[in-house]
């Protein structure tokens, strides 16, 4: 399933990009999203014109709500963001912590682009979500896509708030 979202952020490109890449923004996003219980930055690296961040996420979901066949680790995930600071765009890859035998059944990746136009910035995210599960795969994709949209909507507000703080 292809999905896309777009947000207008009322801050200049350089401030929005700094906000997108800041660990403090990541922490603020997690604090606002009820579905995420915890995030831990595993690594950060950078070079001439690029940055990369690897973070592990744990859901905010009580054990009593997990089906008996699903282990808590299986609904945790790792996000790898690779950012091109010259092009003002990056890629996001999300991998659930499923057992190795199930890893080929889930794909979630996206391209994240920032376009500045004076005092504002347009943020576009276009992604691919594939869940290979007989009978229920497309229904689960739809459910996850709705959560992704809500998550990116919340994230846009946090990015704007943080960008405005950085721009002061």
Taking only the tens of pLDDT, the chain with its 168 residues reads 899 999 999 999 999 999 999 988 888 888 887 677 788 999 999 999 999 999 998 887 666 655 565 566 667 889 999 999 999 999 999 998 888 888 888 899 999 999 998 879 999 999 999 988 888 778 878 878 887 888 888 889 999 999 988 776
Left if phi > 0, otherwise alpha if psi is -120 to 50, otherwise beta: which for 75?
A: alpha
* pLDDT (0 to 100) of residue 118: 80
Cα 60 from Cα 54, distance rounded (Å): 20
Beta carbons within 10 angstroms of residue 128's beta carbon: 12
Cα 25 from Cα 128, distance rounded (Å): 24
Alpha-helical regions (H) of 12-136:
13-21, 23-32
Six token digits for residue 79: 């996000």
Domain range enclosing 59: 2-167
Cα 55 from Cα 44, distance rounded (Å): 9
| CATH number of the domain where residue 25 is located | 3.30.530.20
* pLDDT (0 to 100) of residue 60: 73
Cα 10 from Cα 145, distance rounded (Å): 25
* pLDDT (0 to 100) of residue 98: 82
* pLDDT (0 to 100) of residue 72: 60
Burial of residue 135 (CB within 10 Å: 0-12, 13-18, 19+) is exposed
Number of domains, the chain: 1
Residue-wise pLDDT tens digits, 72-92: 666 788 999 999 999 999 999
């Amino acid at each position: 399933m292809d999905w896309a979202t777009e947000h207008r952020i009322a801050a200049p490109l350089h401030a929005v990009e700094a906000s997108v890449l800041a660990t403090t923004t990541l922490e603020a996003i997690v604090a606002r999203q009820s579905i995420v219980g915890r995030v831990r930055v595993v690594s950060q690296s950078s070079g001439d014109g690029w940055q990369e961040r690897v973070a592990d996420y744990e859901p905010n979901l009580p054990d009593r709500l997990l089906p008996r066949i699903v282990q808590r680790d299986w609904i945790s995930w790792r996000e790898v963001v690779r950012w091109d600071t010259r092009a003002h765009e990056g890629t996001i890859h999300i991998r659930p912590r499923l057992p190795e035998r199930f890893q080929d059944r889930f794909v979630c990746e996206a391209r994240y682009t920032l376009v500045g136009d004076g005092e504002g910035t347009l943020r576009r995210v276009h992604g691919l979500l594939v869940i290979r599960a007989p009978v229920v795969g497309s229904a689960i994709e739809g459910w996850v896509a709705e959560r992704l949209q809500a998550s990116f909507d919340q994230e846009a507000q946090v990015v704007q708030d943080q960008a405005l703080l950085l721009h002061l």
